[in-house]
Chain A
Amino acid sequence: QSALTQPPSASGSPGQSVTISCTGTSSDIGSNNYVSWYQQHPGKAPKLMIYEVSKRPSGVPDRFSGSKSGNTASLTVSGLQAEDEADYYCTSYAGTNNFVFGTGTKVTVL
């Protein structure tokens, strides 16, 4: 199973929005709604930000939103804040009990 494709980096100024794409195939993202997004700060464990494409766990700010179209999922961070600077990973169920991570995107707040 190949990793989902994400841009290596993305950036925005405080208050702006940034959108990260996550491209898979019809065998993973395109075949189900089990797409999640994780935020990881250096030296820390990942944190769940979005699950089932667009749902936010309790405690995650509504500045974070997710969507999907075809084989591509997206995470949008609105109203960027300094603490949003981190690595972000998408994930997807890939059928037959398999699972795949994205390549990761480093978000920089300028």
Chain B
Amino acid sequence: QVHLVQSGTEVKKPGASVKVSCKASGYTFTDYYMHWVRQAPGQGLEWMGWINLNTGDTNYAQNFQGWVTMTRDTSISTAYMEVSRLTFDDTAVYYCARDIGNWGFDYWGQGTLVTVSS
């Protein structure tokens, strides 16, 4: 059975960085792309970008280019998403989601709450 398990809640100060992990199990990790999506409190879903878990190629949404980095470690079937230079507006729940191959996300992590607070 497919599972995506994310790292726990984070509290960071403005200007800091945060790295969220997403550990996959139950399928061949490198056969799929992984996307990251965030949701600010009381707001809608926002797509951040994807990583090809086989090649490591990435593509970021325009709003996140230059300050979000997606990586993976195939040896432990884990994807990572790092946000640098955090601001209060980055307070959100961050999700990883597996792409079934046609821009449909069939499995999601449980979400990681990142709070930016001084």
Contact = CB atoms under 8 A, between A and B. Distances in A.
Verify that A and B bind, or say they do not.
yes
Classify the interface of chain A: helix, strand, loop or mixed.
Answer: strand
Interface of B: 35, 37, 44-47, 50, 59, 61-62, 95, 97, 100, 102-106, 108-111
Classify the interface of chain B: helix, strand, loop or mixed.
Answer: strand
Contacts, number: 62
Contacts of B37: 46, 101
A53 B57 CA distance: 27
B106 A48 contact: yes
Given A1-B61, A97-B59, A99-B61, A48 B45 contact: no
A101 B108 contact: no
A84 interface: no
A91 interface: yes
